[in-house]
Amino acid sequence: ATVTYDFNVTWVTSNPDGAFERPTIGINNQWPVPRISADIGDNVVVHVTNQLGNQSTSLHFHGLFMNGSTHMDGPAQVSQCGIPPGSSFTYNFTINQPGTYWYHSHTGGQYPDGLRGPLVVHDPESPFLGRYDEELVLTVSDWYHDQMADMLPTFINKGNPTGAEPVPQAALFNDTQNLKVAVEPGKTYLFRMINIGAFAGQYVWFEGHNMTIVEVDGVYHQPAEAEMIYISAAQRCSFMVTTKNETTANYAFVASMDTTLFDTIPEGLNYNVTGWLVYDDAKTLPEPTLVDELDPFDDMTLVPNDNQTLLGEPDKIIELDVIMDNLDDGANYAFFNNITYKAPKVPTLYTALSAGELATDPTVYGDFTHSFVLEKGEIVQIIVNNLDSGRHPFHLHGHHFQALYRSVEEGGTFEDAKLTEADYPAIPMRRDTLVLYPDGNIVLRFRADNPGVWLFHCHIEWHVSSGLIATMVEAPLDLQNTISIPSDHLEACAAQNIATVGN
């Protein structure tokens, strides 16, 4: 079937934490923004009209492979030009993956202003159908009182040499601080949890109830019991919760922002948000008791249901060192190796389409895009070494990667783990976003089976702005034969006087 959405992107006013009213980016004059729902196999059409007036925009459908439609992936200056104010632009793609995703603006630090929402793909063949009675979408996010357009210049300013990221004012469940989930006794609920935040990872737990994890980032897993999970910005985790057999009390569930990410913790910051499983409306909503240890489930131990085994040894190894540094100009930048990403004027995809044979030469994309050209079908390994003291949730567009290794959190200085094939699990877990710990490393592997231009980046929106991005240009010569850019996409460039010749 075809599912169609008309999204007029507009400024609205909202006050989700009850403490501060601010302009937020809504859709069709509403915020929270609508959910995109589809069945596996559906064709999804999203007509976007940018009515913001003062900002360009774009939508990325996070976690979807966009197989055969890399030009629908959404990042501005990568697979399209930003949609100028007053213009319309259509995304049209087929979904062949089940599970829990989200969509968000992928233009210049914009999504924390509100343009981010759930995207759920139902699967009539889900191995977990019949094991739960009802499903619910549960977003969690940090929330800022200021607008990104006001915070970004200060953040990337020359007077911010440490690169201290603005600390959010609040955390939200489903874009509110007053979430009550009515439940019935003796039932099992599937919670599709999505961290749609800009910065903070979240520790999440339910008082008096266990979580049974069955899906992360669109990959079904052998069910795993957890008392607490950690979900970084952009990650998803679906878990089942079975309710108690009696209705004698209501129960709190909590998300707690990972304050280790914050350079300072402002006085009075409430870094927790509470929601409630409401068994009985007439009974009190208890305040959660504080936990003394944040000890979340280790997602590296998850085993995918399809038992996909470790990919063979890599044909290509990309090693990236994460460095936060200032270039003696007083401003802080994020680097992969010696490159801090800057968006090109012409979208990288359009360059790939128009460069002829030269498209396989990474230098045509400009050094500042930090492009790697991948050959069709080859096995690619990305090693990320964290020479920084912060956590970074790394996301790859267009793929699930196998997560082969992650160093445990120890603190100290970076040491190379010197791994061999024997160190990797036989059936690695897969996802599209993985947290890298301070001073440690991660090893990821995937097959380049999806021609396209795909970003690899830290999903902390501040670090996107300060350059922690590389570009994977996958099988560009294939793209030249298969992708043709629709005219509304070309017009978005023309409206900004960006030439897109030769396509």
Residue ranges that bind ligand C2O, judged by CB under 6 A? 60, 62, 75, 104, 106, 234, 395, 397, 455, 457, 459
Residue listed under structure tokens 């949609």: 83
Neighbours of 430 (CB within 10 A): 23
Question: Nearest distance from residue 106's CB to ligand C2O, in Å?
Answer: 6
Contact 321, 285 (CB under 8 A): no
Residue 417 makes CB contacts below 8 A (sequence gap 6+) with 405, 407, 441
Q: Return the number of the residue (205 or 395) whose C-beta is nearest ligand C2O.
A: 395
Minimum CB distance to ligand C2O smaller for 58 or for 351: 58
Q: Is the CB of 67 or the CB of 247 nearer to ligand C2O?
A: 67
The tokens describing 243, both together, are 């309710």
Q: Shortest Cβ contact with ligand C2O: which residue?
A: 62
The tokens describing 19, both together, are: 């403490």
* Residue among 75 and 467 whose Cβ is closer to ligand C2O: 75
Nearer to ligand C2O, 58 or 381 (CB): 58
Strand pairing class (179-182; 272-278): parallel
Transcribe 272-316 into DSSP letters: EEEEEEES-TTS--PPPPPPS------GGG--BTT-PPPP-S-SE
Using DSSP bridges, classify how beta strands 36-39 and 2-14 pair: parallel, antiparallel or unpaired: unpaired
C-alpha span between 150 and 58 (Å, rounded): 20
Q: What is the DSSP letter of 83?
A: B
CB of 486 to ligand C2O, least distance (A): 21
Instruction: Specify whether the CB–CB gap between 212 and 240 falls below 8 A.
Output: yes
Of residues 392 and 459, the one with the C-beta less far from ligand C2O: 459
Closer residue to ligand C2O in complex, CB, 447/457? 457
Closest to ligand C2O by CB, 105 or 274:
105
Task: Decide: 239 and 187 in contact? Cβ < 8 Å.
Answer: no
For the CB of residue 335, give the shortest distance to ligand C2O in the complex, in Å. Answer: 18
First to last CA, the chain: 30
156-to-149, 390, 471 alpha-carbon distances in Å: 12, 17, 22
Tokens 């979580």, residue located:
211
| Minimum distance from residue 455 beta carbon to ligand C2O (Å) | 5
Q: Which two tokens stand for residue 315?
A: 């044909």
Minimum distance from residue 393 beta carbon to ligand C2O (Å): 10
- Least distance to ligand C2O, CB of residue 427, Å: 26
Place of tokens 């003796």: 186
In this structure, the number of other CB atoms found within 10 A of the CB of residue 218 comes to 22
DSSP 492: H
The nearer residue to ligand C2O, 430 or 459, going by C-beta atoms, is: 459
CB of 293 to ligand C2O, least distance (A): 30
Minimal distance, residue 396 CB to ligand C2O, in Å:
9
- Return the structure tokens found at 34: 């609508």
Could you tell me the smallest distance in angstroms from the CB atom of residue 199 to ligand C2O?
Answer: 13
Quote the least distance from Cβ 261 to ligand C2O, whole Å: 17
Helices assigned H by DSSP within 140-286: 148-155
Beta carbon nearer to ligand C2O, 17 or 299: 299
User: Which tokens sit at 426?
Assistant: 């036989």
CA–CA separation, 176 vs 168, rounded Å? 15
